Amino acid sequence: MDRRITPFNGRVAHLSLKGQVEAERFVEGDRAVVVWGTVDLFPSESRACAMDRQLLLGEALRVLEYREGWAFVRACKDGYCGWTSARHVTTEFVPGATHRVSARLTHGYLEPDFKVTWRFRELPMGAQLHVFDTTDRWARVAVPAASDAVDRDRGYYERFVPASHLRALTDPEPDPVAVSERLLGTPYLWGGNSSPGIDCSGLVQMGCTLCGIPCPGDSDMQFRELGETLPPGTPPQRGDLMFWKGHVAWVADPDTLLHANVHHMAVAYEPINDAIDRIRAQGDGEVTRHARVMP
């Protein structure tokens, strides 16, 4: 079993695994949401290990176990499992998400006034919010609040976000590459999932998610599950994916890739042939798969 998508930590397992693993307890898990902009997800209860992925504000979870300040969670979006700080999730009532941040980054304002200098916090692309109502310029939203927050009297804050920075969950975007291009220049971060920092598979997942395309979290999973494999020599087109061992990139146009990569330490464009030659020269082999995600 792949530990990344198997809701079992050696003690506690999800009910769906009865008969498949030996556990002290089998649980459904508590419904919860993420209360911070980006939240690191680890394979164990220790920050001494490499981060697997990140969760974003407002994302829905199941908490299977709390242990010494940590929470073992399963993300509803893609089934990814791991440990995060218990302070970064809440099981208190929060209105269900209706919209997602579609801009690279936005802010939650205390009042619907661009000149208000006190802002709530930065909200990254992909963060999910409940919108109560909108004007031409502003959306009044519910932002999930931490259980131990001292300046709130319910499970969320009411804040104001520029309406143009949000998109309804029921209104997917048409072009995953256009979504990913908004993150051009974003610093490379292993396991990163949004505008503060992102890796190759995070960039692909962000583009797919905002376009309503189911997408797993890591590049090896995306290699197995995303798109239709094309025969060698097929001319690339915008929206295709190119895979190498441990890496994935969008095709931005027939001659250019868009990818988050360590060579640039950022999301960057790179000529396809240059990337193929560079990756081969550094010892990481040839393209292992060319896939078409969009018809």
Q: In this predicted structure, what is the pLDDT of residue 149?
A: 64
DSSP state at residue 86? G
Domain C-terminal end among 43, 60, 90? 90
d(CA 159, CA 114): 13
Say if residue 140 is in the same domain as residue 237: no
Q: Kindly state the helix (H) or strand (E) to which residue 194 belongs, with its residue range.
A: strand 193-194
Say if residue 253 is in the same domain as residue 203: yes
pLDDT (tens digit per residue) in 102-147:
999 999 999 999 887 677 778 999 999 999 999 989 999 999 888 7
Question: Could you give the percent of the chain with pLDDT greater than 90?
Answer: 86
For residue 133, count CB atoms less than 10 angstroms from its CB and return exposed for 0-12, middle for 13-18, buried for 19 or more: exposed
pLDDT at 213 over 90: yes
Q: In this predicted structure, what is the pLDDT of residue 287?
A: 97
pLDDT (tens digit per residue) in 70-90:
999 999 999 999 999 999 999
Q: In this predicted structure, what is the pLDDT of residue 124?
A: 96
- Of residues 193 and 122, more confidence is placed in 193
Say if residue 53 is in the same domain as residue 123: no
CATH of residue 82: 2.30.30.40
pLDDT class of 37 with cuts at 50, 70, 90: very high
pLDDT at 98 over 70: yes
pLDDT at 152 over 70: no
Q: In this predicted structure, what is the pLDDT of residue 153?
A: 67
Say if residue 152 is in the same domain as residue 253: no
Say if residue 81 is in the same domain as residue 126: no
Say if residue 51 is in the same domain as residue 29: yes
Q: In this predicted structure, what is the pLDDT of residue 121?
A: 76
Say if residue 229 is in the same domain as residue 205: yes
Domain C-terminal end among 40, 60, 90? 90
Say if residue 145 is in the same domain as residue 53: no
Say if residue 76 is in the same domain as residue 132: no
pLDDT at 148 over 90: no
CATH of residue 253: 3.90.1720.10
d(CA 266, CA 259): 8
d(CA 139, CA 128): 13
Nearest alpha-carbon partner for 161 in 61, 293, 37, 13: 37
Say if residue 184 is in the same domain as residue 152: no
For the stretch 53-76, what's the b/e string if a residue is b when 16 or more beta carbons lie within 10 angstroms of its beta carbon?
A: bbbbbbbbbbbbbeeeebbbbbbe
pLDDT class of 203 with cuts at 50, 70, 90: very high
Would you say how long the chain is, in residues? 295
- Mean pLDDT of all residues in 18-23: 96
Say if residue 54 is in the same domain as residue 130: no
**Count of domains observed in the chain:** 3
Quote the pTM value: 0.95
- Look up the domain containing 12 and give its range: 3-90
Q: In this predicted structure, what is the pLDDT of residue 83?
A: 97
Domain C-terminal end among 41, 72, 90? 90
pLDDT (tens digit per residue) in 226-282:
999 999 999 999 999 999 999 999 999 999 999 999 999 999 999 999 999 999 999
State the average pLDDT for the chain.
94
3-state secondary structure 52-69: CEEEECCCEEEEEEEECC
Across 99-155, the runs of DSSP E, i.e. the strands, are: 99-101, 105-109, 119-124, 128-134, 138-144
Question: Could you give the percent of the chain with pLDDT greater than 70?
Answer: 97
- Of residues 131 and 157, more confidence is placed in 131
Structure token digits, residue 221: 């999973």
Say if residue 83 is in the same domain as residue 31: yes
Report CA Rg, the chain: 20
pLDDT at 11 over 80: yes
- Cα separation values, 33 from 45, 75, 112, 203, 231, Å: 19, 9, 25, 22, 42
